[in-house]
Structure 1
Amino acid sequence: MRASAFVYSWDVNGDPAAAERIAGLGVRGATLAAAYHSTRALTPRHPRHRVVTAEYAAVLYPPGDRWQGRTLRPRPAGDWAPGDAYGEAARALAAAGLEVHTWVVLAHNSRLGAEHPGTSVVNAYGDRYPWAPCIAQPATRAYLVDLAAEAAVRPGARGTELESLGWYGLAHLHAHDKTAGVGLGDAGQYLMSLCFCPACRAGYDGQGLDADALADAVRTALEPVWRGAPSGDGWPAVEKLLGAREAAGTRAWRDERARTLQEEAVAAVRAAAPEGFRVLLHADPVSYHCGANAGVDPAHVLSVADGVVVPCTGGAGLLAPFAEQGRADAVLAANLTIVSGMGGHPAGLAADAARARDLGASELRLYHAGLASDADLAATRAALARV
């Protein structure tokens, strides 16, 4: 199974040993961040620093001329990844024999929401989610499509992996997150992630739903949940809380907006890319789910992209709906965490990879070569030698 490790430019730049160390794990590729959200990251082996604070969502290369005069545009990174940090790291990784693919985070951008509040998802209570751009808004969609094309197709890249190409909602892991006091469950998370910005209100109207009445229905449905009643999991639980007609209307609107955005973004990347460039999406096979692994329809997404990257730490069950499509040409990459402190189990990587392969995985993604401890990397190296 072909394996690739996720990497940040600040893991590589300034550390002459980094690229060879990553290649020495036994991976064939590096999935290198080209556009990334704000984060705080350890760099446990870097000769110059131990903690990198990326203060806002940014591109890790100089943005191009296409953004001149546009209101919505990507921001270049600050001193945590200055200049063409992506390009510098990509060249070092390629020189170590690794095939470099870009890693592009799209609809997850707190800086965009802070500077342009009108772009954000607005819940039924009127609260804005600045980390979550509303993908129904035309200007936001145009920004995301152009960002996908530019950030994905960097010099020398052989492919891309597009993260957050769909709806983001309440669940986010925001800075100093304190939202776990009430167990919202799957259905509650969906209701708290419904957007009521002007574009979405018009979209609900097109589905025969009055937006004001719908927002009131959401708030009413959530009242017992705030008091401790379980919301339930799965789509039937959403229908029970909100009503079957209302639930179906919201999902129809949101699914259509996500599907068409995925189509447009992948088409834009293909138009900008050389022949043979692979386009994968980080994906969840349940279309109403929100987050970095965007909810998709498996049959649809595999007809649009070359494949998917699927979260498999703790179990590879999410692979099955994609494997069931019978697309022998599709890449099904199992994403496994190798950082013990983040819930990974690198010592069990060989067994996890075997289970993922049995469920249809054709490749592995390892999260994350820069964040892992020396012990985790040693375990990963030994496991990959057995895969």
Structure 2
Amino acid sequence: MTAKVIYAYPWDVVGDPAAPERLARLGADTVALAASYHSVRAATPFHPAHRLVEARPALYVPVRTGSWGRLVPAAPTWTAPDAFVRAADALRAAGLAVQAWTIVTHNSHLGTAHPSLAVRNAFGDRYPYALCPSHPDVVDYCRTLVREIAELGAPDGLVLEACGPLGVRHLGTHEKTAGADWTPAQLDLLSLCFCAVCAPRYPEGTRERVRAGVDTASPSVEAALGDLAPVVRELRGALGRDLQHALRLEAAGLPVTLHANPDPWAAGAFSRVSAAPSADVLVANCWDDPASGIARLRGLRALAAPGTRVGASVLALPPATLTPETLDAYRSAGADEIHVYHAGLASRSRLAAIAGTLRSLGAGTGHDACPNIARPGVP
């Protein structure tokens, strides 16, 4: 049976009594609800009190300052400080499971306040939205983040995003980088971190080769680095692997879903993973063309340990159109779960498309598939 997960923000639910039932009628099993999140300007098409939310990086369970070390997350002022807890309670009352969607190293508030802990490329440019997990203070923050969400949020599971080093790819702050026409290889090279901890770990000459590879449009990272590529690749891979393992230990036995990428140079929301990664579910980004999504799914399946599930993250927002045919292709490629982004941002017609497409997956544990599930206020 294919599990069905829909994504939402806590402010989609808090203050909107109709939201839990609206999400339940989509036919999903589970809501991946943001427990920590980066900055965003989000539409709220159905909320009775507003139509837009301007959110900054924040934690949506209470921030107990005594629990944190050097890095302390911000509490939201645009919604309740315990918005995750309130929203989760309302969603469970509607019969839905709730997983804590946790953004790990993507935090412009903390990266700006602590620039020495942010990723820095080979040219010396800092990425203030990207905390580098080579720093012990960053790892301590990430471990505390998961521990606090598990304890205070009491979720049914964790969904970890940006669980590893981030790179140059970033959608935010009026992004104006597309005109440079950087190739995927150039973007990967610009994503290698040369902060005070990372730089000394690389072999001599790595920085110079990276800079030359960017400026000469090297066809691949391997071509730019030459004989240094295996060492650099392993050093980068260890950052994500060690962080993922550490956070699995902090999950207090909760099921862990990891937004993952089989690409050995991946540095983004879907983090690079190695063989037998520390997660119960590996979710691939299937937001672009189906062929690329299928390749990522198959790559994750090849890396997954026996018993590990693989999921496809699909886009229900512009420019994508969610169709049963696309989901069938992903299921045929090995997807055990479908993760739909994003129910809170979707219009009425897009919600109808989500519901229709999830219904095409057949019987599950969502409300449309199990009409006998009791729902408050619904006969």
Could you state the TM-score of these two structures normalised by the residue count of structure 2?
Answer: 0.90
Match of 2:355 in 1: 381
Code of the residue aligned with 2:16 in structure 1: it is D
User: Once the 2 structures are TM-superposed, how far is the Cα of residue 267 of structure 1 from its aligned partner?
Assistant: 1.1
Q: Tell me if structure 2 keeps the 8 A contact 1:104–1:152.
A: no
Which of 223, 236, 241 is equivalent to 1:240?
223
Mean alpha-carbon deviation: is it higher for 244-253 or for 190-199? 244-253
Which of 335, 347, 353 is equivalent to 1:361?
335
Q: Tell me if structure 1 keeps the 8 A contact 2:166–2:269.
A: yes
Map Cα deviations across residues 17-67 of structure 1 (whole Å, 9 max, x no partner): 10000000111111100000011100011111001000x211012123553
Q: Tell me if structure 2 keeps the 8 A contact 1:102–1:153.
A: no
Match of 2:377 in 1: none
Match of 2:311 in 1: 333
Match of 1:107 in 2: 105
User: Once the 2 structures are TM-superposed, how far is the Cα of residue 354 of structure 1 from its aligned partner?
Assistant: 1.2
Question: For residues 282 and 249 of structure 1, do their structure 2 counterparts lie closer, same or farther at Cα, with a shift above 3 Å needed?
Answer: same
Match of 1:32 in 2: 33
Q: Distance in 1 between matches of 2:177 and 2:344?
A: 28
Question: For residues 335 and 154 of structure 1, do their structure 2 counterparts lie closer, same or farther at Cα, with a shift above 3 Å needed?
Answer: farther
Which of 160, 163, 170 is equivalent to 1:162?
160
Q: Distance in 2 between matches of 1:199 and 1:67?
A: 25
Match of 2:326 in 1: 352
Q: Tell me if structure 2 keeps the 8 A contact 1:62–1:83.
A: yes
After TM superposition, list the pairs within 5 Å mapping 1:114-193 onto structure 2: 114-193=112-191
Code of the residue aligned with 2:241 in structure 1: it is R
Structure (1 or 2) with the greater helix fraction: 1
* Secondary structure in structure 1 of the residue aligned to 2:129: strand
Map Cα deviations across residues 250-308 of structure 1 (whole Å, 9 max, x no partner): 21211112111111111111xx34xxx211100011121110001112x231xx21121
Match of 2:272 in 1: 295
* Secondary structure in structure 1 of the residue aligned to 2:99: strand
Match of 2:255 in 1: 278
Q: Tell me if structure 1 keeps the 8 A contact 2:36–2:60.
A: yes
Computed over aligned residues only, the root mean square deviation of the Cα atoms, in angstroms, reads 1.6
Code of the residue aligned with 1:295 in structure 2: it is R
Code of the residue aligned with 1:12 in structure 2: it is V
Map Cα deviations across residues 210-258 of structure 1 (whole Å, 9 max, x no partner): 2xx3222222222223xxxxx43xxxx212223x222222212111121
Which of 91, 94, 97 is equivalent to 2:95?
97
Q: Distance in 2 between matches of 1:136 and 1:217?
A: 21
Match of 2:198 in 1: 200
Q: Distance in 1 between matches of 2:304 and 2:249?
A: 23
Q: Tell me if structure 2 keeps the 8 A contact 1:110–1:131.
A: yes
Match of 1:261 in 2: 243
User: Once the 2 structures are TM-superposed, how far is the Cα of residue 174 of structure 1 from its aligned partner?
Assistant: 2.3
* Secondary structure in structure 2 of the residue aligned to 1:199: coil
User: Once the 2 structures are TM-superposed, how far is the Cα of residue 89 of structure 1 from its aligned partner?
Assistant: 0.4
Which of 281, 291, 301 is equivalent to 1:307?
281
User: Once the 2 structures are TM-superposed, how far is the Cα of residue 170 of structure 1 from its aligned partner?
Assistant: 0.4
Code of the residue aligned with 1:241 in structure 2: it is A
Question: For residues 154 and 102 of structure 1, do their structure 2 counterparts lie closer, same or farther at Cα, with a shift above 3 Å needed?
Answer: farther
Q: Tell me if structure 1 keeps the 8 A contact 2:169–2:268.
A: yes
Q: Distance in 1 between matches of 2:309 and 2:234?
A: 27
Q: Distance in 2 between matches of 1:150 and 1:182?
A: 41
